[in-house]
Amino acid sequence: MSGNSTVASHLPRGFQAAGVAAGIKKTGAPDLALIVSERDCVAAATFTTNVVQAAPVVRGKSQLASPRATIRAVVINSGCANACTGTAGLADAEETARLVAEALVRQHPSDNAWRITAEQVFTMSTGVIGVPLPMDKLRAGIPAAAQQLSPQGLNEVARAIMTTDTRPKIASIDRGAWRIAGIAKGAGMIHPNMATLLSCILTDAAVEPALLREFLHQAVAVSFNRIVIDGDTSTNDTVLLLANGAGGIAIETPGQRNTFQQALNDVCVNLAQQVVRDGEGVTKFITLRITGAHDEHMADQVGRSIARSPLVKTAFYGEDANWGRVIAAAGYSGAAVDPNKMTLWFGPVKTFEAGEPTDYDEADASAAMKSDEIEVRLDLGLGEAETVLWTCDLSHEYVTINGKYRT
């Protein structure tokens, strides 16, 4: 499995991609991505649960409302979220899709297979809220991207969708008969409440629509729904999964389904962890395991409370084994926990048990906190259910980045 964002990854069969600088970002960095399939794709997506939803989210939900909807192209711009832009924003998203369809026809004027409709073009946006899409730049950038489409364009696409990300995020698996490749962007406004980022995942396997939706739902549940950077849920969050069947292999039997599901899970977990590792101002990658819960809901409820606590996160940044903050966050999670049954470890160091601190060595606990990667385990002592989340610390740099995001 390839999760290294610096290694070029081939797209699955039948896909081409490109990333260009259209001038949306003031820096001149790449900011427009285009992914195209040579044949119709079955599609599945998960969207933000924020009731304030960007125009591309509203449009995408409408597109995929039909279970037999097909997608041929995805266009993603960074630098402008096209959120809170009213009816004009929806019109701009529609025009963006139309521009893609027209550009592809111009690239292949004599090939009827490329005569796609705007309804087959999926749009995504990321960046500042409340700013209209600069359509003049998209009118020039989309044809330029169409001219640069390539089966080796995955790295360029991953770079073009970045905002405060410091590096592109790519993961892929090649099973020979079929492949899965995915990209993601995300470094802030990350909280496990659907899929708080943008991600596009592609496969050349043939999968029926209902089964594809099931695959994506399960993969998101164990990956993008298990990460926390700052507790914020964005207006644009979307994870899109496309299957074009160009590999000629249909996913049908129970064995094929299990193999495909595990591969998709692995790609999504890899991308989700890359998002956390590249979080805004992050210096610590934290694996948080909650065990001994009555059920998974309880474990998840406790874990999320701890993972989004500013006091817990700043303690990790300061390399302070402040176990009291973790126990307190579990206590106000809303779950029916019992401190007298809890046990807490920072790495191998047991710091709290049965309602009071252990006789641990403070130096050992401090040493455990100095690692770039830390595992924290809280056993609730109430049952057999458990869960895992991936989170990070909260640094001065996070405040600097977000305090000046629009400037």
DSSP secondary structure string for all residues of 181-226:
EEEEE-SSS--SSS--SEEEEEE-SB--HHHHHHHHHHHHHTTGGG
pLDDT at 223: 94
49 labelled catalytic: no
Does the structure show a pLDDT above 50 at 358? yes
The answer, yes or no, to whether residue 368 has pLDDT greater than 50, is yes
For the cut 70, the answer to whether the pLDDT of residue 7 exceeds it is no
Q: Residue 270's pLDDT is what? A: 96
Residue 119: is its pLDDT beyond 90?
yes
Task: Give the domain 285-403 fold.
Answer: Ubiquitin-like (UB roll) (3.10.20)
Domain chopping of the chain, boundaries: 15-277, 285-403
Decide if pLDDT at 5 tops 50: no
The dihedrals phi and psi of 277, each to the nearest 5 degrees, come to -60, -25
Q: Write down the pLDDT at residue 237.
A: 87
Q: Catalytic residue, from 196, 291, 351, 391: name it.
A: 196
Structure confidence at residue 399 (pLDDT):
66
pLDDT of residue 402 exceeding 60, the answer is no
- Give the per-residue pLDDT at 326: 98
**Superfamily in which the 15-277 domain is placed by CATH:** L-amino peptidase D-ALA esterase/amidase (3.60.70.12)
Mean pLDDT score of the chain: 91
pLDDT in tens, 25-84: 989 999 999 999 999 999 999 998 888 999 999 999 999 998 889 999 999 999 999 999
Closest CA to 354 of 327, 333, 377, 334: 327
The answer to whether residue 1 scores a pLDDT higher than 60 is no
Taking the model in full, what pTM does it have?
0.91
Q: What is the mean pLDDT of residues 316-330?
A: 94
- Reported as a single tens digit per residue, the pLDDT across 147-187 is 999 999 999 999 999 987 888 999 999 999 999 999 999 75
First to last CA, the chain: 38
Confidence grade of residue 231 (pLDDT, cut at 50, 70, 90): low
Asked whether residue 405 carries a pLDDT value surpassing 90, the answer given is: no
